[in-house]
Structure formats: C-alpha cells, structure tokens
Amino acid sequence: MADAMSLPAAAARPRRRAPGAWAEALAGWTLAGPAIVLMWLMLLGPAVGVIGLSFTDWTFGAPQIAWAGAANYVELWGDRVFWQSLRNTLAYVAFTVPASVFLGLGVALLIEAGDRGRGLYRALFFLPVTSTLLAMALVFQFAFHPTVGLVNQALGWLGLPTTDWLKNPDTALYALGVIGIWQALGLNMVLFLAGLKAIPKDLYEAAAIDGADGAWDRFVRVTWPMLGPSLVFVVTITAIRSFQVFDTVAVLTEGGPNKATSVLLYQMYQEGFSFLRSAYAAALTCVFLAFVLLLTWAQTRLLDRRAHYG
Amino acid sequence: MRPRPLWFRLLRHALLAGLGLLMVLPFVLMVSISLKPAHEIFAPEFRLLPEQWHAWQNYSLAFAKQPLGRYLLNGLLVTACIFAAQALFALPCAYALAKLRWRGRETTFVFVLLALLVPPQVPAIPLYIGLWHLKLLDTYAALILPSTISVFGIFLMRQFFRTVPDDLLHAARLDGLSEFAIVWRVMLPTALPALVAFGLLSLVWNWNDFFWPLLVIQTDTLATPPLGVVFFANAEAGTNYGPLMAAATVITAPLVIAFLVAQRWFIDGVTMTAVK
C-alpha cells in the first residue's frame, strides 16, 4: 500500500495543495462514496453486528434484547453438537484439501507435460467448477444410491465392499468430501497451470547444465521450489472454501445421520433459522470467522517467509 | 527439451482421459437418467442410453410440476441486476482508489482488504434481521440488495486501473472530460478484459449461490435455480428421478453452455484474478 503513495504524479506536485487538489479530493469522495456506504451497510457493518449480537441473549422476533456477556460462548463450550460440528468441519477440510490440491497439481503437471489435447483436458477438469453444485449434488445422491448407484455397482463389480454411503455415519462425511474434491480439483488445476507458466524456462536449462536431466530431477530442483507461493495460495483458498461447506450437507444429509455430517455453517443455519436462536447462531458465526481469519493469517506468514525469491 | 518417449505420451493420455472421464461422469449420468423411464432407472444394470426413450415425458413433467422456466428467468434477472449494481458501484470506487488523491483513500483501501477476508455467510444474520425490519424478506430485493457491493470487484478493478498510464488521464482532462466521464469512457474500455473476468465470476457465484436464497426466499415463484431444484426435489420426495434429473439438467445447462462457449474467457478470468 505504501507504493500507492509514491505515484509519479504525487511526487511531481508541490507540497502545498494546488488549487486542483480540492477538486480532486471532492471527486475522489464522490466516486468512492456510494461504494463505501454500501460496503459498510452490507459487509463490514453486519460483520461487526454479528460479533455484537453474539454477546446478547436475543432470539429472533423477541421484543427485548439484553447483554449476556460471554454466555453464548460458555454454552458453545459445553455444546456437544458444536464440538461434533467443529470436528466434522476440520475432518472435511483435512480430507478434501490435500486430495484436491495434489490431484489438481498432478493434472496440471500432466497437462503441461505434452502438447496434445491441452485445451480439451483443461475444459474437462474445469467444467465442474462452473456447474451448479446443488443440481450436481442430486446426481451424486443417485450415484451413491445403495443398490442402483454407479458407485456401488462399480465397487461390486471390482469385488470391493459396498455400503449406503450417505446413510452410514462412518462414510457420509467422506462421501460429501468426494463431491467437494470433484468440484475443487479443476480450479486448483487452473491455478497451478498459471503457476507453472510463470516459471522461467531458462531455470530448466540451467538445471540441465547442472546435471538435472530426468523429469523427477527437474521437478524436485526447479518446479517444486518455484511453485511454493502458488501452493500456499491454492491450499489457503481451498481450505477457506472447504470451511464453507454447506450446500451438499443441507440438501443430501441435513447434518445426519446422527450429526455425522453436521458442519459449522449447517449448525449455524439450524440454530439461527430453524430454532431462531439468533444470538447463539451469531456466536457460531464468530467461531467460523475466527477459523477463516486464522487460515488467512497462516497464509501471510508462510508467504512472507517463502516469497522472497526475486 | 527432448521429445518425450512414446510410453510417456500414452500414459499421459491414459491418465488424463481416465480422470477426465470421471469428472464428466456426473453430467453424463444426469442426462442419461433424464432420458429414461423409472423402471430402467432402477434396473440393476446401468446402460448409457435408454431402451425406451422417455425424454419427452420427463422434461414435460419437470416443466409442468414446477415453474422451471420461472426459476431460470429469476436466475437471469437476479444475476443481471447484481452484476449491473456491482459494476456501477465498484468501477468509480476503483478509479478513485487507483488514480485520485484524497484524504481517506488509504483507510478506505485497508477496509476493502479487510472486507475481502470476510466470508459471505458472516453478515447473513444481521442482513436477515435488517431485511425483516424493512419487510423485504421473500422479495427480489432480498436476493439482490446484499450482493450489490463486491469488494472483490473493487480490488480487482483497482489493480487494473493502476496499470493505465496517467498521460491518458491528463489528455482526457485536457479534452474537458469530467472525472465521472473518465471512469466510463477512458478507464472502462482499457479494463474490459478485467471487467469480463469479474462478470463471469460474479455470474457463476450468484447463479449457483444456495445459502442466501435458502434463507430469504419461501415463495416458489421467487426461487433462483438452485433453490428451485430443491423445491422440486422436496415436492417429488426424491424418488421420481427421471423428472428430477431433467430439472437438474435444465438448471445446470445455462452455465455449462456458457462455459463451453466462452471457455477461454472463464479460465483466463480465474487465472487473472488469482494472480492479480
């Protein structure tokens, strides 16, 4: 942000404000004003409001509202469903992020390794990213159908064990995770393709002179280190998106069976909009926000340490 | 670089084609089921094409049971209004942040960056309460208003506007253009690729968003496409798969077709916005 201050125009102007400066300031505020007002009204204001609300006892539609201190957070601490939702959300993230990141990287490397069919493969893998997740979730529901679903038919044909994936508490969360991976993979692939294109070709030539000739050598000595910043970025945005898992839970399992797929946002939705406990749902939202901010903070720390390669 | 050996090229195609097939399999399955009668859908052996074509029955039933056309129109209306508003507010703001000097500019930009970190579900409860007070729940306004501002759009366009040379602005000012006119007649044309990228992302996000419409819409005729599919699934109790998959196909088709037509724009857009 400091560089914004040192625009050439700014440096050239005299220190005392020129007559035009006042007009420029007025134009700045007029042009940015509506957006600033809306930003506070629709995003920042409500975000602050949700934090405030989490310290009250308000239920939706109640005539009175009172300060409740940390009561909602104390209740959260003792809420078994909350811990279950948090564990489920973390397990979902831990399952989908590595799988979609490494599959995305693998596909990107394979696409870059040849000339034929690049456009076609890119399109195939990217297609799920733009598709309506909710409609596709219903297709997956059918694919996971215990008897006629393609998944069990294929597994049965291979002689592998089958189950009712979405109704079995041990597998339901991971069945949803498969849908998450399916949708995230293409986005990660495209981001890695951009990262791969940005690696200067002469680095590979230099590595070849140093004796790194095999594909694996080139990968370990050039590609992997140079992809560092892309990797951190891709992991962070995939993790943040995984944290927001909601659609598939809401339409396929409704948090069940027996809370096995209850995730933070789904519990927030139930508390806030089914049970109308707005303040308690606000506390859940704050926990959710804290985790997302933690991920972003971790990303900046990692990038600061790794990104200085010139 | 040496040409790759034949076995490597074959392996590459085998892996990519195999995995790629898995990626499109759900789409194939969806269309395949939408063409079949119930007894073939629940047949023990899966076949790609139906023995007895039931496409007409499934699709006409889908359109008859629920206002599918209305869902699509709602989706179009809502996404178009949202993008128009986002562009209308974000472009002038991005210009002011990128090219004008005014007190409060740095602070404003810090708040834009801060707002970028807030996931869209966080403001949901206060926004819902606000709309309830204004008696706007279950209206188009409830769907559109919260998304009229995109801090992502402001950020993206600012990054692009900063690369526009200042000489262009000086020339425009000498020609007597107002700052407002500069935004639309000088800056916008130079940043068209960025605006298209932003537009596509906005379209994909708002067409597919389910969380917010689920909260604020109860009336069937106001549903956006994803919410409409759920209304449909609930009405059919999830057993009548033929018409359900027909409905899913209809709802998914617009974005899939848009992607296939403007594929390069989509992928370049995502890349551009990620690398900034």
What's the pLDDT tens digit per position in A58-79?
Answer: 888 878 887 888 888 998 998 8
- In tens, the pLDDT along A234-245 reads 888 899 889 999
Tell whether the model's pLDDT for residue A104 goes beyond 80.
yes
Cβ separation of B275 and A194 shorter than 8 Å?
Answer: yes
Report all structural domains of chain A as residue ranges with CATH numbers, in order of start. 2-53 (no CATH), 74-306 (1.10.3720.10)
- Tokens coding B63: 């359109």
Chain B residues closer than 8 Å to A30 by CB: 179-180
For chain A, give the mean pLDDT: 84
Going from N- to C-terminal start, the domains of chain B cover 6-60, 63-275
Neighbour tally for A301: CB within 10 Å: 11
Q: What mean pLDDT comes out for the span A81-90?
A: 92
Cβ separation of A191 and B274 shorter than 8 Å?
Answer: yes
Q: What span, in angstroms and rounded, lies between the C-alpha atoms of A67 and A71? A: 9
Cβ separation of A250 and B210 shorter than 8 Å?
Answer: yes
ipTM > 0.90 (yes/no): no
Q: How many CB pairs below 8 A link A and B?
A: 292
pTM metric for this prediction: 0.87
- In tens, the pLDDT along A239-292 reads 988 999 999 999 888 887 888 899 999 999 999 888 888 899 999 999 999 999
Cβ separation of B210 and A134 shorter than 8 Å?
Answer: yes
Mutate to test the interface with A, among B122, B163, B164, B182 (most CBs of A within 10 A): B122
Nearest to residue B74, comparing CAs of B224, B226, B220?
B224
Nearest to residue A42, comparing CAs of B29, B118, B123, B260?
B123
- A306 falls in which pLDDT band (50, 70, 90)? low
Q: Give the CA distances from residue B253 to residues A128, A176, B221, B248, in Å, rounded to whole numbers and listed in that order.
A: 12, 23, 20, 8
Chain A contact present for B48, CB below 8 A: no
Chain A residues closer than 8 Å to B234 by CB: none
Q: What is the DSSP string of B19-39?
A: HHHHHHHHHHHHHHHHTS-HH
B267 closest CB neighbour out of A107, A190, A296 = A190
A182 closest CB neighbour out of B23, B97, B117 = B23
Cβ separation of B210 and A131 shorter than 8 Å?
Answer: no
3-state helix vs strand vs coil in chain B, percent to 5: 75, 0, 25
What's domain B63-275's superfamily in CATH? MetI-like (1.10.3720.10)
B23 closest CB neighbour out of A124, A133, A142 = A124
Q: What mean pLDDT comes out for the span B107-125?
A: 91
DSSP A231: H
